[in-house]
Structure formats: C-alpha cells, structure tokens
Amino acid sequence: MHSFRFSPIQNKTQLSKAVEYIHSACHDLCKQSIGRYLPVAGNVGVFCHFENEFLLLKQLQAELTDTNNSVYGKYFLLHAPIVIPARNDIPGATYRYLYIRQPDPDKPQVGDIDFFLEPDKYAALKQSLLNGNEINGARVLPSRPDLDLIELYNPDSDVLGFIGDKKFS
C-alpha cells in the first residue's frame, strides 16, 4: 500500500492544507521548468486515493461549490474563492474552481493547478516543444492530445502543473 501526502483527507481543514500545498508545490514546478512564475488560470484539482476520501470530498465540494456551474463538467465554481496570499517569493493566487479527482492509488500526486500564458506566447512555447526543444520538466501533454496543455512534472514532486492559454472565469 502506498503512503500519500494528505490522503485520506477527512475534513475542510485538511482540504485547505492540501490546496495550500498544491499551490506552493505547483509554483515551484513552474519556476523550475519555465524559469518564472506564471499566473494561475483559476482552478485547483485535489486528487483522491481512497473511495471513502472521494465520497467525503465530493460532499465537501457540494457544500463549497455551485454544482450547477462547472467547466468541462468537473471544475465547479466555488461559492467563495480560495485566496492564497503571497509567501516568500511565491505569488498569491485566487482559485475560483475546484475539481475532485476520483481515486487512483497508482497516481500519488496530491493535485494540480493550471497556469495561464497569453495565447501567442503559449502557442510559441508549445511549438518550440513540438519542434524538439527540450525544457526540463515540461512537455506537451502526452496522454491527452485532445487537451491543449503543456504538462509540468518532476518525478520527485507529488503535484502536477499545466500551462494553457485559457483562464477559468
């Protein structure tokens, strides 16, 4: 059995701590790969590893969000945005959408966030990667070519980041 950071999340306080960690660790990934912090797109995903955890987090999500207002049917609009203040050199951010991922015990990540890059700059970065330019920890999302995203990853990190050219609003 795997040991997962934060899982199983059992209450709002633990969920909040997980979101703060995802924010910080994803920003670290972004800076390591891109060399600077990018603004967030406005969504945060929390990944479950156990069925009971998923059921509880879906209940919390129903309390915290408007389940009738979603993006892609999985990112739900929060009644009150999650605001994380700047800390050290990591910028603050506001998350307006929350996603709870179904359990997958083979994927140890705590969660993910999306970063925003202006469409022309995003297109240039993506084309650069497609042309063979290597950026350590960044790749065009390999598992979902239907999604137009660049994945930020590090095998030593338990979060994922994504760069896209859209904001959640």
Encode pLDDT of 4-30 as tens digits.
888 899 999 999 999 999 999 999 999
Is the pTM higher than 0.75? yes
Domain that holds residue 85: 12-164
Encode pLDDT of 136-166 as tens digits.
999 998 777 778 899 999 999 999 999 999 9
Q: Could you please report the per-residue DSSP string of 51-77?
A: HHHHHHHHHHHHHHEEEEEEETTTEEE
pLDDT score, position 1: 43
pLDDT score, position 121: 97
Position 84 in a domain: yes
CATH no. for residue 152?
A: 3.10.180.10
Position 1 in a domain: no
pLDDT score, position 2: 58
Position 56 in a domain: yes
Encode pLDDT of 57-97 as tens digits.
999 999 999 999 998 899 999 999 999 999 999 999 999 99
Q: How far, in Å, CA of 92 to CA of 85, rounded? A: 4
Position 33 in a domain: yes
Number of domains comprising the chain: 1
Q: How far, in Å, CA of 113 to CA of 98, rounded? A: 10
Q: Which tokens is 60 given?
A: 């919390």
